Amino acid sequence: MHGRWWANDADCLIVGPDVERRKEWATHVRAYTGLRGSSDRLLGLDDWGVETTRQLLSHPAPAVLVNGVGEPIGRE
């Protein structure tokens, strides 16, 4: 992506130490379904970034879409 991040890519994990609100974004990616990916350079991550990336990319996304406060939507 030539150093650019797509703001509309809801399942793209960005947790580099220079990313503002990275913990909020990781929470967002954790809550939503979709193919998860990382756009960070892994060697540039701090310990929190490495662990969060490992955790989110090694566990499947939830089967049910949730809203911003973690409540299921769309399926009953």
The structure's pTM equals: 0.68
3-12 pLDDT, tens per residue? 555 555 667 8
Cα(27)–Cα(9) distance, rounded to whole angstroms? Answer: 14
CB neighbours of residue 19 within 10 Å: 15
12-49 pLDDT, tens per residue? 888 999 998 999 989 888 887 677 888 889 999 999 99
